[in-house]
Amino acid sequence: MSLNRREFLLGSAAACVVPALAGFASEQPLQVNAPRLRQTLEELSVFGRPAGGTFADGVSRVAYSDADVAGRRYVMGLMEASGGKPRVDAAGNILCSRPGEDTSLPTILFGSHIDSVPHGGNFDGDVGSLSSVEILRTLNDRNIRTRHPLQAAIWQNEEGALVGSSIAAGELSASDLQRVSTSGLTFAEGIRKLGGDPNHLDTARIPKGSLRCYLELHIEQGGTLAQQGIPIGVVEGIVSIDDYDVTIRGFANHAGTTPMPERRNALLAAAKLIEAVQEVVTAEPGRQVGTVGHMEVTPNARNVVPGLVKCTVELRDLSAEKIAILGERIEARAQQIAKDTGTQIQFEHVAHDPPATAAPEIQSTIEKAAASLNLKTMRLPSGAGHDAQMMARIAPMGMIFVPSQGGISHSPQELSRWDDIANGANVLLQTILLVDRT
Ligand SMILES: [Zn+2]
């Protein structure tokens, strides 16, 4: 199908009468109203836009800020305009339900978030959130009934710590509520500001096993799909993360009078460690990544041999076993570096996030949905965290990625093409309809 033909079909989808699911090759599956989806994304972008800026200047819609509250009010207005009855749960999440024909069937839940990082872009979270709303509108416009109840979710404070979805999954402890968010408010204060009730968070819990599945459309945030020209990513899972704190002890001494062979330079050891991380992580095939992203040098003075360095090592991969092995290899290399540089290197494993696997059944359903729209797919892991990883603890989970141009995210330069976004929304819609039939 040529690009022009696809654009024509997306643009005219609202005008033609089509079956919800293509039963025959000649039938065109139901599609969302792509121009309307674009319009709502542009309208949402004004909440948190820098003064005097345009869409291209990005957004600062930090959770619990006034811009966040205004953006949420806009989204709830869209839900109401399409005949929905949105509600705010005790956690501050926005939920909009659509009844199914069979009340005995579990809910198909889908959604994303509309909060952003400071100076973020207009696609991270917004694409999946407003596509979910658009899907409800499309189904209502066409009067299409599903067997399962449907529910769209706008999770609160994804960028902070997956707060809303963690509460829904029962993964946030009472002490976490006192943590201070980027807005300056604690999570508890923020929840109150959004209309939630931090004293009754148990009512926002979604019991394990009670959902048919959870689906999330999101921008890739990396550059793989755009580079390879593939419109739809089928997420295999959200990566496991191991975090280490590393302390390197040398000896601080005069930079003029200490001969080179006698130095115990902690920063030199750190430099060798950074290289060792790079070598160990790239020594074998796969998509694993490793980063030294933070470093403190003491005394950090021009004329002193550095005596102490504290730094971090972070490892990510879908396989928790793989990053555990890489961590061991890096530690072994560090001990050799310590010997060579006359320093002591100490590793502390400070955090482990387990991987969140997408349900194989949902991954193949997403592929079928994309195939019905003549869209190519590839499977890939998500290197970034998402609300979907919390939902994976309680329900079969699936994620759909659309390309991020240049692989840029958490930046005003974040960009996904409008036809890629429409494709993603249509794949989400078709996935919901396919799951509904089974
Ligand atoms: Zn996001």
Angle between helices 34-44 and 418-437 (to 10 degrees): 110
Q: How far is the CA of 162 from the centre of ligand 1 (A)?
A: 10
Q: How far is the CA of 158 from the centre of ligand 1 (A)?
A: 7
User: Residue 11 pLDDT > 80, yes or no?
Assistant: no
Q: How far is the CA of 224 from the centre of ligand 1 (A)?
A: 17
Q: How far is the CA of 41 from the centre of ligand 1 (A)?
A: 15
Q: How far is the CA of 385 from the centre of ligand 1 (A)?
A: 8
Q: How far is the CA of 113 from the centre of ligand 1 (A)?
A: 7
Q: How far is the CA of 173 from the centre of ligand 1 (A)?
A: 22
**What does the pLDDT look like over 189-225, one tens digit per residue?**
999 999 999 999 999 999 999 999 999 999 999 999 9
Q: How far is the CA of 348 from the centre of ligand 1 (A)?
A: 29
Q: How far is the CA of 418 from the centre of ligand 1 (A)?
A: 18
User: Residue 89 pLDDT > 80, yes or no?
Assistant: yes
Q: How far is the CA of 119 from the centre of ligand 1 (A)?
A: 14
Q: What is the pLDDT of residue 28?
A: 82
Q: How far is the CA of 381 from the centre of ligand 1 (A)?
A: 15
Listed in sequence order, the residues at least 6 apart from 248 whose beta carbon sits closer than 8 Å to its beta carbon are: 266, 269, 270, 273, 308, 309, 310, 311, 338, 343, 344, 345, 346
Q: List residues, by chain if needed, whose CB lies under 5 Å from ion ligand 1.
A: 124-125
Listed in sequence order, the residues at least 6 apart from 387 whose beta carbon sits closer than 8 Å to its beta carbon are: 111, 112, 113, 153, 155, 158, 162, 164, 165, 216
**Averaged confidence pLDDT in the chain:** 93
Q: How far is the CA of 272 from the centre of ligand 1 (A)?
A: 34
Q: What is the pLDDT of residue 22?
A: 53
**What does the pLDDT look like over 137-181, one tens digit per residue?**
999 999 999 999 999 999 999 998 899 999 999 999 888 999 999
Share of the chain above pLDDT 90, in %: 91
Q: How far is the CA of 218 from the centre of ligand 1 (A)?
A: 7
The predicted model gives 367-393 an average pLDDT of 96
The predicted model gives 301-316 an average pLDDT of 97
| Cα–Cα separations (whole angstroms), residue 55 to 35, 44, 120, 346 | 16, 10, 11, 47
Share of the chain above pLDDT 70, in %: 94
Q: What is the pLDDT of residue 317?
A: 95
Global pTM value: 0.85
User: Residue 62 pLDDT > 90, yes or no?
Assistant: yes
**CB atoms near residue 49 (< 10 Å):** 19
Burial class (CB in 10 A: 0-12, 13-18, 19+), 200: exposed
Q: How far is the CA of 179 from the centre of ligand 1 (A)?
A: 21
Q: How far is the CA of 136 from the centre of ligand 1 (A)?
A: 21
Q: How far is the CA of 40 from the centre of ligand 1 (A)?
A: 18
The larger pLDDT score, comparing residue 111 to residue 10, is at: 111
Q: How far is the CA of 125 from the centre of ligand 1 (A)?
A: 4
Radius of gyration of the chain (CA): 24
Q: How far is the CA of 22 from the centre of ligand 1 (A)?
A: 31
Q: How far is the CA of 128 from the centre of ligand 1 (A)?
A: 9
The larger pLDDT score, comparing residue 175 to residue 58, is at: 58
Q: How far is the CA of 58 from the centre of ligand 1 (A)?
A: 14
The predicted model gives 241-254 an average pLDDT of 97
Q: How far is the CA of 165 from the centre of ligand 1 (A)?
A: 12
Residue 33: closest CA among 425, 434, 385: 425
Q: How far is the CA of 139 from the centre of ligand 1 (A)?
A: 25
Q: How far is the CA of 226 from the centre of ligand 1 (A)?
A: 18
For residue 64, name the pLDDT band (cuts at 50, 70, 90).
very high
Q: Tell me how far apart the alpha carbons of residues 267 and 249 are, in angstroms, rounded to a whole number.
A: 9
User: What is the SS3 assignment for 174?
Assistant: helix
Q: How far is the CA of 98 from the centre of ligand 1 (A)?
A: 24
For residue 4, name the pLDDT band (cuts at 50, 70, 90).
very low
For residue 15, name the pLDDT band (cuts at 50, 70, 90).
very low
Q: How far is the CA of 351 from the centre of ligand 1 (A)?
A: 21
Beta strand pairing call for 356-357 and 232-238: antiparallel
Q: How far is the CA of 115 from the centre of ligand 1 (A)?
A: 8
The predicted model gives 104-112 an average pLDDT of 98
User: Residue 24 pLDDT > 60, yes or no?
Assistant: no
User: Residue 13 pLDDT > 50, yes or no?
Assistant: no
Residue with structure tokens 């093409």?
Answer: 417
Q: What is the dihedral of CA 88, 358, 399, 84, to 10 degrees?
A: -30
Q: What is the pLDDT of residue 175?
A: 87
User: Residue 268 pLDDT > 60, yes or no?
Assistant: yes
Q: How far is the CA of 52 from the centre of ligand 1 (A)?
A: 25
Q: How far is the CA of 319 from the centre of ligand 1 (A)?
A: 22
Judge if the upstream peptide bond of residue 86 is cis by omega within 30 degrees of 0: no
The predicted model gives 98-121 an average pLDDT of 96
For residue 20, name the pLDDT band (cuts at 50, 70, 90).
low
Q: How far is the CA of 124 from the centre of ligand 1 (A)?
A: 5
Q: What is the pLDDT of residue 174?
A: 84
**What does the pLDDT look like over 34-47, one tens digit per residue?**
999 999 999 999 99
Q: What is the pLDDT of residue 107?
A: 98
